[in-house]
Amino acid sequence: MFALRQVRTYCVSAPLILPKEYGLRHSDIFNAKVTPPKESWLYNFDTLASVKLGLVGLHPKVFSAFPRPDLIAMNVIWQQKYRKIDWLKMKTRAEFRTLNKKPWPQKGTGRARHGSRRSPQFTTGGWSHGPRGPKTSFFMLPYFNRVVGLISTITCKFAQNDIKIVDTLESFPSDDPQFLKEMIKTRGWGPSVLIADTTDIFPKNLALASHGIDHINCMPTYSLNVYSMLKHETLVLTYSALRELEEKLLFQLNRTDLKEIIGKYEAPKVVPNYPNTDPILQP
């Protein structure tokens, strides 16, 4: 026997069926008969209860791609390491200020022969093979590993029903943090929420409501990354952010100037010789 849960019903008008805009500009990339487009509900953002405003078509190359957990893990490791710097630095025997003389005579004491207290055998001596920081852990992940890692993360979040699409953030009615918490609780979103829009200037009410809540963050579309999407349980996208995200990922996935893009992160083979000028300031 299963316990029946009480379901709240709201008297709202019937949802509108929006046009199936699943990337008509990129319709030649996939065959809709073989790989049908995905669909998701478009919700409002101005009330506590969620109201379905219509259906939104999603591009299958972004929201139903083959998941690659290995590339997702590689992206997470890359994001954790490229910003890490080891500042530990141990002194060598040449950097100590102790006197560089013999601790005792060469013969006659019965002890081992030593020439200086700076040698690594002594506790007051230097380190022979110690860390010499600062040392960075930066490395560049291959280009398509980053692109496919983003697409795989979005696909997995969508398959787990952790991506919610809202019409706009401008309609958020209150700057009270409690109202935002009640909205998230009423709609059944996860304990941590990431809200993304096309711009980095968010509406005043939403910015003030989410400012003091650590597990609710706002982020522009150009800053979305694998680590942040995995750190938050629910990803909330506006309709404009959804279209911009699809367009950017499809462009990166099918671009042809890969050689020029990869070349930006490679060290130059020949150092140019600029006479009487600073090479750092050269273009």
Least confident of 47-56, 110-119, 269-278: 269-278
Residues 78 and 89 in one domain: no
User: Rg of the chain over CA atoms, in angstroms?
Assistant: 29
Task: Name the domain boundary from 93, 120, 136.
Answer: 136
Residues 42 and 123 in one domain: no
Q: How far is CA 88 from CA 54, 80, 81, 154, in A?
A: 56, 18, 16, 38
Residues 188 and 247 in one domain: yes
Residues 93 and 190 in one domain: no
The answer to whether residue 229 is domain-embedded is yes
The answer to whether residue 267 is domain-embedded is no
| pLDDT for the residue 168 | 95
Residue 29 has pLDDT above 90, yes or no: no
Residues 126 and 224 in one domain: no
Residues 234 and 183 in one domain: yes
Q: Which residues contact 209 (CB under 8 A, 6 or more apart)?
A: 172, 174, 175, 176, 177, 179, 180
The answer to whether residue 190 is domain-embedded is yes
The answer to whether residue 272 is domain-embedded is no
The answer to whether residue 241 is domain-embedded is yes
Q: Cα separation of 11 and 252, whole Å?
A: 43
Residues 215 and 117 in one domain: no
Count Cα neighbours of 94 within 13 Å in the Cβ-side half-sphere.
0
Specify the amino acid at residue 84.
K
- 39 φ/ψ angles, rounded to the nearest 5 degrees: -135, 150
With beta carbons less than 8 A apart as the criterion, state whether 227 and 80 touch.
yes
254 is written with which tokens? 């099918």
Query: Tokens 């500042």 — which residue?
Result: 87
Task: Name the domain boundary from 94, 118, 136.
Answer: 136
Residue 63, number of CB atoms within 10 A of its CB: 24
The answer to whether residue 156 is domain-embedded is yes
- Quote the domain boundaries for residue 113: 85-136
Residues 156 and 224 in one domain: yes
pLDDT digits (tens, 9 = 90+) for 53-106: 999 999 999 999 999 999 999 999 999 998 899 999 999 988 887 778 899 999
Model confidence at 268, in pLDDT bands (50, 70, 90)?
low
Q: Cα separation of 254 and 235, whole Å?
A: 25
55 is written with which tokens? 């259906």
Residues 242 and 159 in one domain: yes
Model confidence at 207, in pLDDT bands (50, 70, 90)?
very high
The answer to whether residue 1 is domain-embedded is no
| pLDDT for the residue 11 | 42
Q: Which residues contact 89 (CB under 8 A, 6 or more apart)?
A: 130, 131, 132, 133, 134
Quote the pTM value: 0.77
The CATH number given to whatever domain includes residue 176 is 3.40.1370.10
With beta carbons less than 8 A apart as the criterion, state whether 166 and 56 touch.
no
Residues 244 and 167 in one domain: yes
Residues 44 and 145 in one domain: yes
| pLDDT for the residue 123 | 85
| pLDDT for the residue 27 | 53
Task: Name the domain boundary from 121, 136, 151.
Answer: 136
Task: Tell me how many domains the chain contains.
Answer: 2
Residues 114 and 125 in one domain: yes
With beta carbons less than 8 A apart as the criterion, state whether 226 and 149 touch.
yes
Q: Cα separation of 259 and 250, whole Å?
A: 18
Model confidence at 245, in pLDDT bands (50, 70, 90)?
very high
With beta carbons less than 8 A apart as the criterion, state whether 154 and 40 touch.
no
The answer to whether residue 269 is domain-embedded is no
pLDDT, averaged across the chain: 84
